[in-house]
Amino acid sequence: MPFLWWNNSYYLILILQGICIFHAMKTGRRDYIYIILFIPLIGCGIYIIREILPEINQGDFWNNLQRIFFPGARVRDLERRVRISDTITNKMNLAEEYMLSKQYDKAIALTQSCIDQRPNDQGILLTLAKIQFHSGLFAESAANFQKVLSIKNRVNNSIDELLYAQALEQSGELGKAEEEYKRIIRLHHSLEARYRLGLLLKQQQRKQEAGEQFQAAVDEIELHPRYVRRLHAQWARKSKRELSSL
């Protein structure tokens, strides 16, 4: 009986290990693959706690799972809805799904058709800015973020603000990007903003200032509640690695 239990457990661990590795590869979290391979039970536990549970808490896990195992199903469903009724809501839902499936040209064209109907709709402009960012059109993305700011004087949340700062950085507006990162840190105490500001400063050979940002991210992670630490632990880990390379 003990042998049978162990044999069954072994196969369950292999299945869990395979699922975690597959999920890590498909979602771009390849840093975890070695720990999952070499210490399977502990590695899978760490991966589930740090990466999968936050997705479940945010409501993203099942949609992401569907995209991994049935990559075209949601796109086809949303395309069907647009054919039935080409409302702006249906078209924008499809555009966002195109973005998530990296069909950026289709996403941009569909979003632009909605802007033609509603040129000052900040929600549509914001979506276009995000799609352009993910497609590598950083200058265009920054310009549309600025249009949103001119209408609303703010974007929706710190995630969108970080994309704006990165768009500024990638389009060469380093001074504006630095100020935007600093503003996000002041308002949201964002560890990701500290990490990205540190990288920007390091790129400019301002190593002491970069080190201060990386160290602050490492120190501040312990001040947050446990669920926040789980969500943002990667930025503390990455900051710690950058500190060791300065």
Whose CA is closest to 20, among 9, 36, 8?
Answer: 36
- CATH top class, domain 72-154: mainly alpha
Residue 51: in which H helix or E strand, if any? none
Contact 200, 178 (CB under 8 A): yes
* pLDDT tens for each residue of 69-126: 666 788 899 999 999 999 999 999 999 999 988 999 999 999 999 999 999 999 999 9
Q: pLDDT-derived band of residue 37, with 50, 70 and 90 as boundaries?
A: confident
The CA-atom distances, in angstroms, between 170 and each of 49, 83, 162, 174, 177 are 32, 37, 12, 8, 9
Q: pLDDT-derived band of residue 6, with 50, 70 and 90 as boundaries?
A: very low
Contacts of 114 (CB under 8 A, 6+ apart): 88, 91, 92, 95, 121, 124
Identify the DSSP state of 28.
T
- Which DSSP string do the residues of 166-217 spell out, in sequence order? HHHHHTT-HHHHHHHHHHHHHHH--HHHHHHHHHHHHHTT-HHHHHHHHHHH
Contacts of 162 (CB under 8 A, 6+ apart): 184, 190, 192, 193, 196
* pLDDT tens for each residue of 120-129: 999 999 999 9
What count of other Cβ atoms lies within 10 Å of the Cβ of residue 207? 12
The confidence score (pLDDT) of residue 2 equals 47
Say whether pLDDT at 145 is over 70.
yes
pTM for this prediction? 0.75
> Would 72-154 and 156-245 be classified into the same CATH topology?
yes
Contacts of 243 (CB under 8 A, 6+ apart): 211, 214, 215, 218
CATH architecture of 156-245: Alpha Horseshoe (1.25)
- The domain spans of the chain are 30-69, 72-154, 156-245
